[in-house]
Amino acid sequence: MQNISDIISTVEFNHTGELLATGDKGGRVVIFQREPESKTEPFSQGEYNVYSTFQSHEPEFDYLKSLEIEEKINKIRWLPQQNAAHFLLSTNDKTIKLWKVSERDKRPEGYNLKDEEGRIKDISTVTSLQVPVLKPMDLMVEVSPRRVFANAHTYHVNSISVNSDYETYMSADDLRINLWHLDITDRSFNIVDIKPANMEDLTEVITAAEFHPHHCNLFVYSSSKGTLRLCDMREAALCDKHSKLFEEPEDPSARSFFSEIISSVSDVKFSHSGRYLLTRDYLTAKVWDLNMESKPLETYQVHDYLRSKLCSLYENDCIFDKFECAWNGSDSVIMTGAYNNFFRMFDRNTKRDVTLEASRESSKPRAVLKPRRVCAAGGKRRKDDISVDSLDFTKKILHTAWHPNENIIAIAATNNLYIFQDKLNSEMH
């Protein structure tokens, strides 16, 4: 029986890919570090091992609203490294924290006014002075909270994004986006507010938000209506009027009771180049060109075989699952999760796609990731095909991350983290 608090709720590589952080429903953050290549096997890539674990958030209670605030980590974002220490932001529904992760492998010895245990000496007993020295000690990884950014969100925080100026970041909840300075915790600037005067007029919510990777004035946010809004902070202090609106016109013939639910965008990511946007809704992943608002450049069917199952997916609440998406380092391949511990990859150049499975067997060192195929209801089944009726909807891959430069992916499958290295090339070509 899996422990609910161990379920991974976010996964994120740092800017070099040497560190990988996961957050879970129990409010913990686990950081993995890539081991250096061994001298005996120069071509063997280092594995990721646990580097540090710490409790980021605790459950709280809002007495004014009589609401429990979950400790679950919604998002982690690394700051680019500027000295020996690493910094990351983590958030639950309400409070964002900045953490410093640093190493200590030396300790000072030979104090004049303290004894070996650290107790203050009687000054009258000090007869000679000595110079304290640094002695080597076992490596210690210290994690300390540096800032707590609280009391700025009425609704649940769904996104945080560090700006390319490395001084500011934004946090988004269902109806508002706030801009923070990393050094100032007691105030933030509200840059988007879509809350109507009368909440009965509410028709959409913000689902995700991200800064442009190179232009510190641009950011994008997605909505539950399937739209993307690109905003420019140079135009106005409050970015309620977007610069660009990306929206695909709906096909009236395909409209159904579920249309609005499945068109809600669950994730949006800028490409590394900054030219494209990748979005994920319930059934598809789409690539948008920033220069073309009228329709997506590319649309990829993630699990179209579920179209006939939407009624039962609505009844068991799976239709509201929020899948994330990721680009590879060169923006040529995209990745997103599905059910049954499957995840999908789409090569934008060759138009090839593949379904892979995250499992204990496939994560063994020399195991090869075998492509899987799901057979739609009533379709012809080939050997090894999986019927859509036998998919396990409790095994869902919502959170994935791709190493910024290499073919290494991290897949969160409920309470297991799978890291696949150099197993992807052969599958996509």
Name residue 248's amino acid: E
In which element (H, E) is residue 224 found? Answer: none
- Spatial distance between the Cα atoms of 297 and 219, rounded to a whole number of angstroms: 20
The answer to whether residue 417 sits within a structural domain is yes
The answer to whether residue 34 sits within a structural domain is no
- Spatial distance between the Cα atoms of 388 and 52, rounded to a whole number of angstroms: 40
pLDDT at 78: 97
- Spatial distance between the Cα atoms of 16 and 91, rounded to a whole number of angstroms: 22
Tokens of 376: 């739609």
Host domain of residue 140: 102-367+393-421
Range 52-56 contact pairs with CB under 8 angstroms and sequence separation of 24 or more: 52/101, 52/141, 52/143, 53/28, 53/29, 54/28, 54/29, 54/99, 54/143, 55/27, 55/28, 56/23, 56/27, 56/28, 56/29, 56/90, 56/92, 56/97, 56/99
pLDDT tops 60 at residue 44: no
Question: In this structure, are strands 176-181 and 75-78 parallel, antiparallel, or unpaired?
Answer: unpaired
Q: What is the pLDDT of residues 137-169, one digit of tens each?
A: 777 889 999 999 988 999 999 999 999 999 999
The answer to whether residue 291 sits within a structural domain is yes
Q: How confident is the model at residue 124 (pLDDT cuts 50, 70, 90)?
A: confident
The answer to whether residue 73 sits within a structural domain is no
For residues 406-413, average pLDDT? 93
- Spatial distance between the Cα atoms of 20 and 75, rounded to a whole number of angstroms: 13
pLDDT at 126: 76
Phi first, then psi: give them for residue 355, nearest 5 degrees. Answer: -110, 125
pLDDT at 427: 52
The answer to whether residue 191 sits within a structural domain is yes
- Spatial distance between the Cα atoms of 27 and 55, rounded to a whole number of angstroms: 6
The answer to whether residue 35 sits within a structural domain is no
For residues 287-292, average pLDDT? 96
Q: How many helices (H) and strands (E) does the chain have?
A: 3, 31
Q: Highest-confidence range of 37-41, 110-114, 392-396, by mean pLDDT?
A: 392-396
Look at the chain and report how many structural domains it folds into: 1
For residues 61-77, average pLDDT? 89
pLDDT at 429: 44
Cβ neighbours, 10 Å, residue 134: 11
pLDDT tops 50 at residue 349: yes
Whether 331 and 287 have beta carbons less than 8 Å apart is answered as no
* One-character DSSP codes across 13-32: E-TTSSEEEEEETTSEEEEE
The answer to whether residue 212 sits within a structural domain is yes
**Residue 110: which of 101, 118, 100, 102 has the closest Cα?**
118
Q: How confident is the model at residue 43 (pLDDT cuts 50, 70, 90)?
A: low
DSSP state of 7: S
Q: What is the pLDDT of residues 217-227, one digit of tens each?
A: 999 999 999 99
Among residues of the chain, what percentage have pLDDT more than 70?
A: 94
Q: What is the rounded radius of gyration, in angstroms, for the C-alpha atoms of the chain?
A: 24
Whether 373 and 340 have beta carbons less than 8 Å apart is answered as no
* One-character DSSP codes across 272-315: TTSSEEEEE-SSEEEEEETT--SS-SEEEES-GGGGGGHHHHHH
pLDDT tops 80 at residue 41: no
Residue 342: CATH number of its domain:
2.130.10.10
Can you give the pTM of this predicted structure?
0.88
Q: What is the pLDDT of residues 71-115, one digit of tens each?
A: 999 999 999 998 989 999 999 999 999 999 998 877 777 788 777
**Residue 89: which of 48, 146, 51 has the closest Cα?**
146
Q: For the chain, what is the mean pLDDT?
A: 89
pLDDT tops 60 at residue 277: yes
Name residue 165's amino acid: D
The answer to whether residue 412 sits within a structural domain is yes
Range 294-298 contact pairs with CB under 8 angstroms and sequence separation of 24 or more: 294/249, 295/248, 295/249, 296/246, 296/248, 298/348
Q: How confident is the model at residue 422 (pLDDT cuts 50, 70, 90)?
A: low
